[in-house]
A and B are shown apart, each in its own frame.
Chain A
Amino acid sequence: MTSPHGTAHTEEYQPVFVGKTMEELQDVLQRYPNKQAALLPTLWIAQREHGWISDRIMAEVAEVLGLTPAYVKGVVTFYTMYHQHPVGKNFVQVCTTSPCNICGAEGVVRALLEQTGAGEAGATSPDGKWTIIEVECLGACGFATPVLINDDFIENVTPAKVADLVRKYR
């Protein structure tokens, strides 16, 4: 992680695609017959480096791939996993689709919101550490409730297990 999460709009812009990151992009470009096809992986790299996808990042991505910023924004807004605003240090996705719902997912969401101080779904806790969101099917319905904390996929979460999770990631 080269830059902190939640960089404000006003800070001086540091391009993402320089040095090693630019080399990584070149490697990605080899996999596709045109530059546009590298858009999703390029956005993933940008998000990993910057924490979220700002308008300025979209403009840089557009430039390196020979696209327009408007086109890039159209793609970014289609997919739910690209953050269009800063999120907490721990970005927590809780599955609440029907199969998890009947196994108690709503209780898991409630426990997370209370114990992290995030308060409400989508908001970030005052200490900047937690953003909790409800998501549709995470594809692990037999392990209800699955919770994705950043890149860690955690199965069989119950409200009783939330306290340990919060302690671990705090």
Chain B
Amino acid sequence: MGFPHKSHPKETVVLSQYFGDAEARTLKGWTKRGGYEALTQALAMDPARVTDIVKESGLRGRGGAGFPTGLKWSFMPKEKKKPHYLCVNADESEPGTFKDREIMRWTPHALLEGTVIAAHAIRAEIAYIYIRGEFTEPWTIMERALAEATGAGLFGNIKIYLHRGAGAYICGEETALMNSIEGKRGNPRIKPPFPAAAGLFGMPTTINNVETLAAVPHILKRGAAWYKGMCLSNPKSTGTKLFSVCGHVQRPGNYEVTMGFPLKDLLYDMCGGPPAGRTLKACIPGGSSVPILTREETEACLLDYEGVVEKGSMLGSGGVIVFDDSADMVYQIMRLARFYAHESCAQCTQCREGTAWTTKILERILAGQGKPKDLDLLLDLSENMTGKTICVLSDSCAAPVISGIKKFRSEFEAYLAGNRQPVMVG
């Protein structure tokens, strides 16, 4: 539901049904709402069967990449020769995204239940839930729920531990997260080897996002066909998805809709559109790492993995950032570039240097000191930052720059031509 607002009739409420309902946080309250029934069901099944059901449901990773979840689980070795691990990515740090936070705040047991089911499916005995350091409230709630469920002996031989991050966006990248659990700097690793072969502590590992795992108990309980049936457009995108909407809308919040739902309806019907008297200018539909959409593209966009790609962007994490006509796109793109410059782990030259140079050039343009060739320079730089590094942080910095210059070029040119009041950036 459109937490913190009332549920909208066009929403399909599955994961967010109990957002705002504090009783659902307790073991008793969760059990009363049908919680942990799916777990009992799953633990009685062969792990391969659980994986098959998730495969059939069409569930895809909700952290950003959209990789089929059941398929990912099936990559784990069938014969267990070494310890297997499950990592839960609760390092939600992608600007515009705040859905996993709500899942952990309101339905901690949904995440725990999904985690144990996944651990069973991949034959792991230990799962680490990596929660970003700033999420103090979700941490406390998860800690309490974990103690309660463990105390009740619900998890069999499977152990779950919470691991607190310490302020690093890059640790949301799967191999950086594993390094961080291992007590290292959060530098992403070169792949292959992929985690299913050599992940955490060099052992076969699966890593899943919070929202992905929270959907798993529902799939087990109501069946793959039910989940697969929730689809408004492309059959490759099934189920519901939480969209975090922020920026220039009247009712920002988390809204849950069926895959393929029109972005236009999400922004105007559910979120009330931009503030009175203003019009929508641009939208970043999948967290700050994906290309920016114009108003026309936004209003024609369907929210599923394929629909957003068709309009030139990506579904990503489902973090929707809305800009109205009062937004200075040059300034906002600089803020995003600055974010990536700050968060670069500095392993790869293209990223370490590229994100910093991109920010500097954008700051210079804003200050009225831009050079005529700066836009070409930015595009050249961005091209060299795309597809050339260990992870995609560098590409993520380039995406808003490339799309921003392409779609809002006149705003950049106004600064370059001295037709716009310079902005001093601190």
Complex partner residue of A142 from B132, B169, B245, CB under 8 angstroms: B245
B274 to chain A, nearest CB (A): 11
In whole angstroms, what is the CA distance A153 to B161 when docked?
Answer: 23
Given A37-B181, A78-B168, A137-B339, A99 contacting B246 (CB threshold 8 A): yes
Q: Are A80 and B96 in contact (CB under 8 A)?
A: no
**B319 is an interface residue with CB less than 8 A from chain A:** yes
**A1 is an interface residue with CB less than 8 A from chain B:** no
Q: Are A139 and B92 in contact (CB under 8 A)?
A: yes
Q: Which B residue's beta carbon lies closest to that of A35?
A: B183
Q: Are B163 and A41 in contact (CB under 8 A)?
A: yes
**B94 is an interface residue with CB less than 8 A from chain A:** yes
**A132 is an interface residue with CB less than 8 A from chain B:** no
**A127 is an interface residue with CB less than 8 A from chain B:** no
**A39 is an interface residue with CB less than 8 A from chain B:** yes
B336 partner residues in chain A, CB cutoff 8 A: 97-98
Complex partner residue of A81 from B133, B181, B244, CB under 8 angstroms: B133
In whole angstroms, what is the CA distance A141 to B336 when docked?
Answer: 14
Q: Which B residue's beta carbon lies closest to that of A79?
A: B166
B94 partner residues in chain A, CB cutoff 8 A: 137
Binds A, one of B7-15, B73-81, B134-142, B385-393: B134-142
A39 partner residues in chain B, CB cutoff 8 A: 183
Chain B 3-44 interface residues, beta-carbon cutoff 8 Å to A: 4
> Once A and B bind, how many residue pairs between them come within 8 Å at the CB atom?
134
In whole angstroms, what is the CA distance A36 to B181 when docked?
Answer: 9
Q: Which B residue's beta carbon lies closest to that of A82?
A: B166
Q: How large is the interface on A (under 10, 10 to 19, 20 to 34, 35 or more residues)?
A: 35 or more
Complex partner residue of A97 from B101, B248, B254, B335, CB under 8 angstroms: B335
Residues 71-105 of chain B, each 1 if its beta carbon lies under 8 Å from chain A, else 0 = 00000000000010000000011111110010000
**A144 is an interface residue with CB less than 8 A from chain B:** yes
**B144 is an interface residue with CB less than 8 A from chain A:** no
Chain A 81-118 interface residues, beta-carbon cutoff 8 Å to B: 81-82, 93, 96-99, 101-103
Complex partner residue of A80 from B95, B98, B167, B288, CB under 8 angstroms: B167
Given A38-B183, A80-B166, A153 contacting B339 (CB threshold 8 A): no
Task: Please give the number of chain B residues whose Cβ is less than 8 angstroms from any Cβ of chain A in the complex.
Answer: 52
**A4 is an interface residue with CB less than 8 A from chain B:** no
Most buried by B among A31, A99, A141, A148: A99
Q: Are A36 and B97 in contact (CB under 8 A)?
A: no
Q: Are B332 and A98 in contact (CB under 8 A)?
A: yes
A138 partner residues in chain B, CB cutoff 8 A: 134
Given A99-B246, A139-B98, A78 contacting B332 (CB threshold 8 A): no
A52 to chain B, nearest CB (A): 13
Complex partner residue of B98 from A67, A78, A141, CB under 8 angstroms: A141
Q: Are A153 and B335 in contact (CB under 8 A)?
A: no
**A162 is an interface residue with CB less than 8 A from chain B:** no
Q: Are A99 and B321 in contact (CB under 8 A)?
A: yes
Most buried by A among B95, B244, B288, B343: B95
B83 partner residues in chain A, CB cutoff 8 A: 33
**A16 is an interface residue with CB less than 8 A from chain B:** no
Chain B 307-363 interface residues, beta-carbon cutoff 8 Å to A: 319, 321, 323, 327, 332, 335-336, 339, 342-343, 345
A65 partner residues in chain B, CB cutoff 8 A: 183
Q: Are A142 and B98 in contact (CB under 8 A)?
A: yes
**B262 is an interface residue with CB less than 8 A from chain A:** no
- Taking Cβ atoms with an 8 Å cutoff, the residues of B that contact A are 4, 83, 92-98, 101, 132-137, 161, 163-169, 180-186, 201, 244-248, 252-254, 288, 319, 321, 323, 327, 332, 335-336, 339, 342-343, 345
A-B contacts besides A34-B201, A65-B183, A75-B183, 17 pairs, CB < 8 Å:
A39-B183, A40-B181, A43-B166, A75-B184, A79-B168, A93-B134, A98-B95, A99-B246, A101-B332, A101-B335, A102-B248, A135-B134, A137-B95, A142-B244, A143-B98, A153-B134, A153-B137
